[in-house]
Structure 1
């Protein structure tokens, strides 16, 4: 039986984001294929490391008495030390603490690292954090047995650090949503097709302020639903976004109920995607899977994912012009929705993505 341990995430079942969702999908997929799967899980508090079984996945629970980034670093360190006794293959999701992966390299363990996005370019980080991520990106390139890029441009970027042969490109995947419960919109007084949606972390590099401010320049007779955690007391950027919004913009907070989020995507006129940094963004893939008509920031990351039939904006004025032109054009929105589904089926189904991962993992599985 082949064995694999997954590191770098908070654990399964998924509760925190894209990498956790991927880890859950991959773990269950590999178990069905006869693999033994271990996932390291971060717990709050003190105590000894313990194990449990969830849907056939062996979970190694590591209590950490700290929160935030420091707690994550401690968790990663303890996970990596514990993993030195694991047999088989390692898969690390993210490179944020790749300096610790030297231990696995020294023990000649096979460790594949998914290098995620270019974290050190994100505007939200200060100089110390950027240097930390910049260094760990290089450590990941050096210490990983093989690298996985989730976007052709990420592979191109990593190729400036290591030989191209050391990198395999496999994108993120998503579920296709062919129907959704329209009654879930009632709580927010929304009517199918008469609102658009933004689903992302409200960070400067995700263009929240530009999109909300452009939308709010005039009366649209259309709602904009902005999902995300906003802390206007402690975050000046969050406050600026909310202050710039018209009365047609709704801020329901972060919604974690899958059925509700699927309904918001499925019945939205448009999905606005302002990400300027990163590779294959999970939220954009999920929007394609729900058949959303996409209006995205114009960069090579978004263009490869969403394809040529999405609409792209460069700045606020550009975004405003697109809204003026497309919001009333239901026929164009329908064509864009169909194109999104086609793009999704061509490249981003979980069946494709997980199959490519198993093929790569099998190729790198250590032989005794």
Structure 2
């Protein structure tokens, strides 16, 4: 792009619709964190508009050359996203980025306002959020309206699964680009002692990384683990609760009642890498996913995996024995027992990790996303290798 004097300048993008970065729990947050790092390597000026109470500081800061600007948001789960997005759209209208990228269908409700204010808007559909169990009738209606507004009024549209992309094209008669979530395979740099702290033995624990919310179905995994009745195996639930106090309290109670269940809370950095690298099995029993980043991370670490047979998980294309019927505790327990009986194969793990890195590397996904931006801006840009 050129400024008024004909000199080249950096194209600009603002990211909106997430809590913030870095290391804020959530799939959208991880998605934006990774994309942003690659965008700056490819010559873009990137600003992430985050929600102040989730961020490192209430003041604007820079993380790995990505600008992070905290904005106020209410404490209510019902109004947090929409209020923050409204402020973010006004902030973007003042600063005039080349692209405003809105993530998720709830925040996409403000797409028409952003377009009225003269902004070019790209919307990413991360999943059918109105299917989440935590939302009531009015919230589900607003999320469906957000999906409709985002798909109909956006300048460009992205979906993180092929099923979502084709469904949106059929439902709204608009083109939607399928660009999957990616995975960054990070090896631990130092022994943090996390295994000793949690009382874990390498390859003798089952792991789930997910927020403690009903659609992740930690209760199914605890129930299936109880049926193993193997005192040498532990179940490690990594993730923290958000809003759903009743569900998180129920999980705490169930975990206390079943020997060997460990609530590890949110883990990041080397601690999380070490947990992935030493697990014996990763299980994702969820009833709702957009595209499961945690499952891809586990596969990238070379772990044996089991996943519920929902559409988003099936799109990964795992062998049939890696899936189990959603909510079927008996079959999940049998599958876990069968997987744990197979000795860990480092060679097979390395091959699996390399394949995941090739298919779901963030650099390629960043390029695909920038292709959507450049189509919206009706220009071609050379791709800078990051």
What TM-score does the superposition give when structure 2 sets the normalisation length? Answer: 0.84
- Residue by residue over 1:56-93, the C-alpha shift from the partner in whole angstroms, topping out at 9 and shown as x without a partner, is 33343323454534233221111112212314112111
**Residue 83 of structure 2 corresponds to which residue in structure 1?**
74
> CA-atom RMSD, angstroms?
2.8
C-alpha change, 1:180 and 1:311, in structure 2 (3 Å) is farther
Matches within 5 A, 1:199-214: 199-214=209-224
| Stretch moving more, 1-10 or 146-155 | 1-10
- Once the two structures are superposed, what CA deviation does each residue of 1:187-237 show, in whole Å capped at 9, x if it has no partner? 011111111111112333222212211110242231111123359994156
My pick for the range that moved more, 7-16 or 294-303, is: 7-16
- Asked whether the equivalents of residues 294 and 306 of structure 1 are also in contact (C-alpha less than 8 Å), the reply is no
Determine helix, strand or coil for the equivalent of 2:52.
Answer: strand
Is residue 41 of structure 2 the alignment partner of residue 32 of structure 1? yes
**Is 1:43 matched up with 2:60?**
no
**C-alpha separation in 2, matches of 1:198 and 1:283:** 8
Q: CA deviation at 1:303?
A: 2.1
State the match for 1:117 in structure 2.
Answer: 127
Query: Which of 150, 153, 157 is matched with 1:143 structurally?
Result: 153
Partner of 1:260: 271
Cα distance between partner residues in 2 of 1:269 and 1:76? 41
Superposition pairs of residues 199-348 of structure 1, within 5 angstroms:
199-220=209-230, 221-229=232-240, 234-236=245-247, 238-239=249-250, 242-243=253-254, 245-252=257-264, 254-305=265-316, 307-308=318-319, 311-314=322-325, 315-330=328-343, 337-338=349-350, 340-348=352-360
Cα gap change, 1:137 to 1:233, in 2 (>3 Å)? closer
Are the counterparts in 1 of residues 285 and 307 from structure 2 also a CA contact under 8 Å?
yes
CA 11–241 in structure 1, closer or farther in 2 if over 3 Å, else same: closer
Secondary structure of residue in 2 paired with 1:81: helix
Distance 1:320 1:232, change over 3 A: farther
1:328-349 Cα distance to aligned partner (Å, 9 max, x none): 2215x66874564254124211
Distance 1:23 1:43, change over 3 A: same
CA contact (8 A) 2:309 2:323 kept: yes
In structure 2, runs of 5+ residues without a counterpart are 1-8, 380-386
Q: Deviations over 1:340-361 (max 9, x none)?
A: 4254124211122122222322
**Residues matched between the structures, number:** 361
* Aligned-partner Cα distance in 2 for 1:256–1:69: 26
1-structure distance, mates of 2:248, 2:297: 26
1:262, distance to aligned residue in structure 2 (A): 1.3
Structure 1, unmatched stretches of 5+, are none
Contact 1:97 1:136 (C-alpha < 8 Å) held by counterparts: yes
Residue 62 of structure 1: which of 64, 67, 71 is its match?
71
Q: Is the 8 A contact 2:182 2:293 kept in 1?
A: yes
Q: Return the offset for 1:19.
A: 2.0
**Residue deviations 1:97-140 (CA, integer Å, cap 9, x gap):** 32321122224422110111000111222222111112211111
User: In 2 relative to 1, CA 68–8 (structure 1 residues): closer, same or farther, beyond 3 Å?
Assistant: same
Provide the secondary structure at the position in 2 that maps to 1:91.
Answer: strand
2: CA distance, partners of 1:247 / 1:363 = 55
Deviations 1:22-49 (A, max 9, x none): 323222322222222222122249xxx9
The aligned counterpart of 1:3 is 12
Q: Indicate whether 1:89 and 2:92 are aligned.
A: no
SS at match of 1:216: helix
Cα distance in 2, alignment partners of residues 231 and 100 from structure 1: 24
**Secondary structure class of the residue paired with 1:190:** coil
1:226 to 1:53, Cα distance in 2 relative to 1, 3 A: closer
Contact preservation (8 Å) 2:156, 2:373: no
How far is the alpha carbon of 1:162 from its aligned partner? 2.4
CA–CA distance in 2 between the matches of 1:219 and 1:51?
50
- Relative to structure 1, the CA distance from residue 246 to residue 50 in structure 2 (aligned partners, 3 Å threshold; closer, same or farther) is closer
Pairs within 5 Å for 1:166-177: 166-177=175-186
Give the C-alpha shift of residue 263 in structure 1.
Answer: 1.1
Contact 2:238–2:267 (CA<8 Å) still a contact in 1?
A: no
Give the structure 1 partner of residue 382 of structure 2.
none
Q: Distance in 1 between matches of 2:254 and 2:148?
A: 40
